[in-house]
Copies of this chain bind each other. A is one copy, B any other.
Amino acid sequence: MTTDLTTRSGPEGTAARRTSADLLRRVEDRLRSFLSAERQEWAEVNERAVVAIDALSELTASGGKRIRPAFCIAGYLAAGGDPDDPGIVEAAAALEMLHISALIHDDVLDDSDTRRGLPTVHAKHTALHADRGWQGESRRFGEGVALLVGDLALVYSGELMSRAPRTALAEWNKLRSEVMIGQYMDVAAAAEFSVDPELSRWIALIKSGRYTIHRPLVVGASAAGHRELAAAFTEYGEAVGEAFQLRDDLLDAFGDSADTGKPAGLDFTQHKMTLLLGWAMQRDAHIHRLITEPGHTPDEVRRRLVDTGVPDDVEQHIAGLVERGCKAIADAPVPQAWRDELTAMAHRVAYRKA
């Protein structure tokens, strides 16, 4: 399906995709050059200082789908932004650096050991502390290092964004505070073990959908001076964002952990009330029991989800969301090539494999 859509738009579509791919490459270069300049500056001051920066470089180089930079660039180009303005590269790089910060802190919150097949920052430094027999508690050290390295990435993201067009700042500020509040809500709901599908849906929406798709698009459109596209991008982004999050939950529950790079079914054991689980618990008392009462394994939950047809229902819902998103963009005042490209992007995030 994706192939059809991406080839439909002819030469303009090809040009749009090329410009976008070129900007994404410049974002990669910018992330690298930014971190390497910081490293060089600090290495001259004190060689130990570079450990914090190297942790960010490793995570940046370890992969990642760069979804947020891609949507930011799409929003910018769809709004007619000048691809030669270096400000958009700074904005897109800032979104990725913010995400790196969020991943590092998130891994502490979830106590995850691996990320993209590598040890997480806190796991690595906890082990280092234990190996070396350093003073104090290894866990506090490892988590403390991850806290500070994540803070550094958060600060660097702000520094990158300070070189982006000022018109993008309002949306950027909203995006950042919203994701922190959303994260807090997620942690609180998991602890209280709230079984409130509406709350789960809302948390998923602000924490993941808006943060990943809708706001990056609007950051891009605002950087191009066309904040009025926010309405269409919001409609598109909220629908596609929910599809993205549901796919995430499906991959987490049923995916191969070699593909996602993190242990499968983690959200079950961490009692994270995902969109998928909220939905399943609401319609099936047995699922509710399996999750809320102790002694049940993720496998039991997984089997019951399959037996009651949840994955198929979710697939159907995802298809509806993608349709809604594409409809919103079909009516938006953007060039046809960008309507097509955003339609293709909706399919890519909703039907991704990892």
Contacts and interface: CB of A to CB of B under 8 A. Distances in A.
Interface of A: 38, 42, 46, 48-49, 51-53, 101, 105, 108-109, 111, 129, 132, 134-136, 140-141, 143-145, 147-152, 154-156, 158-159, 162, 169, 173, 176-177, 180-181, 183-185, 187-188, 190-193, 199, 202, 270-271
Contacts of A202: 46
A202 B191 CA distance: 41
Contact of A152 (B136, B149, B169, B180): B180
Contact of A52 (B152, B154, B180): B180
A108 B271 contact: no
A302 B50 CA distance: 35
A199 B271 CA distance: 44
Nearest to A149: B184
A153 to B, nearest CB: 9
Contact of A51 (B152, B158, B188): B188
A192 B131 CA distance: 12
Contacts of A42: 181
As for how many copies of this chain the complex holds, the number is: 2
B180 A134 contact: no
Given A134-B193, A135-B191, A180-B52, A162 B155 contact: no
A31 to B, nearest CB: 15
A277 to B, nearest CB: 13
Nearest to A162: B169
Contact of A148 (B152, B187, B271): B187
A152 B182 CA distance: 11
Contacts of A199: 46
A48 B198 CA distance: 14
A177 B191 contact: no
A52 B173 contact: no
A169 B136 CA distance: 37
A148 B180 contact: yes
Nearest to A193: B135
Nearest to A181: B49
Nearest to A129: B191
Contacts of A135: 190-193, 271
